[in-house]
Chain A
């Protein structure tokens, strides 16, 4: 029958102690003809069957977009567990090492077999192989590693091992993002511009944030990257920086954004030099609550201003008017007649950010109407 045949694939048998693994390349479009995904479920007797989660369709779509883009590459290997129907035919040891033997992997394919009787299980690479299956491509060879599993329990332990790696720390991602080219997942595409602005603020010698943002390569910084990123995102999407953004592709006029930011925050630093110099433990200005609230103040004061005009008398006066009403490093915040809070009781919560923002904007508005 045409749907029964053997795939003979060039492979390398690698000896790891008593175990053997097989490295080979396979067209991803053919994977599903002999490899199944082992969905976790309970059978009628409540015994555990399988081990895999369902496909994450949004994730698959993102991989698929990438695969269909120019120059796509998938260097990490897909991991398969074979049963004993799969065999390896060695061509004998060549070269100087005795732990790697070239040969051929022989995989029996029977497309009429139900899923659970296929000779291979996908241990790692479910989402990737689904993306290849769905992609609008004729073929896409991928690297694969197989092992002959004794039983499903062993497959399960390999499955857990390959899937229990720790995600990268956020700080490292934020630092890497701006200097990345090529395709990125959607969540990172969105983050790229804010992360770039943050990096530039941290490394440009002429700005108030120079060296102050904590990142893997700036360990002495004391302003949390997350606080600054939030402020930047808020302003990019809802505030003063939106004017420089291109809504079609999400890019923007970065240099003018930086001029705008350095203009405003430079004034903040000049007017509150002491609070600016101290870490969040000793200053609410460099704390998440202060960075975000002052970000909203920036949006309110400079929404209509061109980048070059941000450093102006009006903004300086508005910030000056805050001076008697802030308690960045000591004293109390007076939010209302019977609402007083110790300087350091403010936390980086939405409620406190809102409270502080409202307070600061009210002070500025009152001063403006008087002046």
Chain B
């Protein structure tokens, strides 16, 4: 997030340098809401067809400074690299070779690195190798072969990187077999991949099966899984870490669960920017929506929301303004959020939140508008996730 962003004028400083002048959650929220950071090669370098998420100069600086200095991480934060297998899920074979992946991990100075894997996008609990989709079988073998090459490459280079073996599967038995083989190769850290679409019961079934062969010192990582409510159970089966962006992304991707609290979820109040919303811009350009009317309605919503936060405006006046603006913006037949807004505004959850961002920004944090508010709300959600996890009893 950009610390100099002006919420009243919705403007960045004209001299702002993205990322460099901006701040990460670990720089604005205490306690730091995560213990580690996972960075994917696909995000940094892009793939065969897709470009990465960074500009070339940013990418050059990441390689030059290493992941720890680039992200300005405090020493206690662990860094884990992976390939970002979801980015090449449709390819027949992973687009990277072992040497270039190890180059990536070493040049960026990661603490740990995941072997190259190929996601199996399916689950069939009873299928053995003969019954399962041949593509799945092939992908599991690709992942295991690459894990073996990965270890060999690290040994050859005398690398200090801690290797994490990626286990793929489509069933409890196939996952357990992958873990078993990775252990035999010498892996003590094993990441379970491809579990994002699985139901919690299915993940547990796999963990139970893995538990039968898991060496006591083997630690498991769940790639892309949060599920706080099941963490305690997962931990019983040797799960020591997980990575997820869902709490952050829900702030602006979820249809309604945008703002999290310890015991509930709230819908953020949508006040889109007249000049930032592509659908609305098209409506204005075509003459179907009056720009002047939209601007007035947008400003009115913001003015009343802020007034409400200060106790000078009645909730029904805010909701009337939101209804009016929603009517202008919502030209398609999307359903109304007004009832959800009423609950959010009645309960004012941001007022009882003690996180630094809610304290500082007040009602702005619950307004769904532009990336600066949305990211701050995402950071808030991460602090909530952290505090929920603090309650879990990891025996």
Contacts and interface: CB of A to CB of B under 8 A. Distances in A.
B275 interface: yes
Interface in A217-255: 233-239, 242, 245, 247, 249-250
A186 interface: yes
A239 B20 CA distance: 10
Nearest to A32: B292
Interface in A54-80: 54-58, 61
Given A57-B295, A354-B56, A190 B15 contact: yes
B287 A39 contact: yes
Contacts of A245: 17
Given A61-B11, A353-B56, A238 B287 contact: no
Contacts of B231: none
Interface string B1-26: 00000000101011101101100000
Contacts of B286: 41
Contacts of B287: 39-42, 49-50
Interface in B171-214: none
Interface string B282-304: 00111110010001000000000
Interface stretch (A143-151, A280-288, A296-304): A296-304
Contacts of A186: 14
Contacts of B285: 53-54
B60 A299 contact: yes
Interface residues of B, number: 27
Interface string B40-60: 000000000000000111101
A55 B298 CA distance: 15
A238 B291 contact: no
B343 interface: no
Contact of B13 (A42, A234, A238, A250): A250
Given A56-B275, A189-B14, A189-B15, A238 B284 contact: no
A95 interface: no
B274 interface: yes
B314 interface: no
B41 to A, nearest CB: 15
B61 interface: yes
A371 interface: no
A202 interface: no
B1 to A, nearest CB: 15
B64 A300 contact: yes
A234 B57 contact: yes
Contacts of A233: 57
A199 interface: no
Interface string B238-256: 0000000000000000000
A205 interface: no
A296 B275 contact: no
Contacts of B60: 234, 238-239, 296, 299-300, 357
B99 to A, nearest CB: 11
A128 B212 CA distance: 74
Contacts of A40: 287
Contact of B14 (A42, A234, A250): A250
A239 B61 contact: yes
B20 A242 contact: yes
A92 interface: no
A354 B44 CA distance: 13
A279 to B, nearest CB: 25
Contacts of A324: none
Nearest to A251: B15
A350 interface: yes
Contacts of B21: 247
B174 to A, nearest CB: 37
Given A238-B20, A239-B57, A249-B15, A303 B275 contact: no
Contacts of A239: 57, 60-61
A250 B14 CA distance: 8
A67 to B, nearest CB: 14
B54 to A, nearest CB: 10
A183 to B, nearest CB: 11
A299 B61 contact: yes
A357 B295 CA distance: 47
Nearest to A184: B14
A186 B58 CA distance: 22
A2 B57 CA distance: 62
B56 A350 contact: yes
Contacts of B17: 236-238, 242, 245, 247
B191 to A, nearest CB: 28
Q: Which of A53, A56, A236, A238 gathers most chain B CB within 10 Å? A: A238
Given A242-B20, A299-B64, A354-B56, 18 more contacts: A41-B286, A49-B287, A56-B275, A57-B295, A61-B9, A186-B14, A189-B15, A233-B57, A235-B57, A237-B18, A238-B57, A239-B57, A247-B15, A250-B13, A303-B64, A303-B65, A353-B56, A357-B60
13 contacts: A53-B285, A54-B281, A54-B291, A55-B291, A61-B9, A233-B57, A237-B18, A242-B17, A247-B21, A250-B14, A300-B60, A303-B64, A353-B56
- List 4 tightest A-B contacts by C-beta distance, closest first: A250-B15, A41-B287, A186-B14, A57-B275
